[in-house]
Amino acid sequence: MKPHDIFNLAMRLIGLLFLYQGLSAVPAAVANFCPVFPHFNFRSLLPSLFLVGWPLLVGMWMVKGAPWLMRRAYPNYGNPTVGDPKI
């Protein structure tokens, strides 16, 4: 495996950890938003969404391969014109 592939695998594994973090926070967020009482607690809606939402968004971005971060880390990877003497 090349360093690019190892870095890509590490990014995807970290993304899976973020997804797990976000999904494991769902029961706590639901219990905070919808308590045992028959009314909803709308003051806790934004913190509940933040608790669950940001790890899920970051996790999905990293599982997709974090394209911006991969281009930043390896700018010339997969570019066939770099180093081509015919150009």
- Residue 57 above 80 pLDDT? yes
Residues 6+ apart with CB under 8 A from 52: 22, 25, 26, 29
**The model's pTM:** 0.74
Mean pLDDT of 54-83: 83
Provide the pLDDT for residue 60. Answer: 93
Over residues 26-38, mean pLDDT: 76
Pick 25 or 77 by higher pLDDT: 25
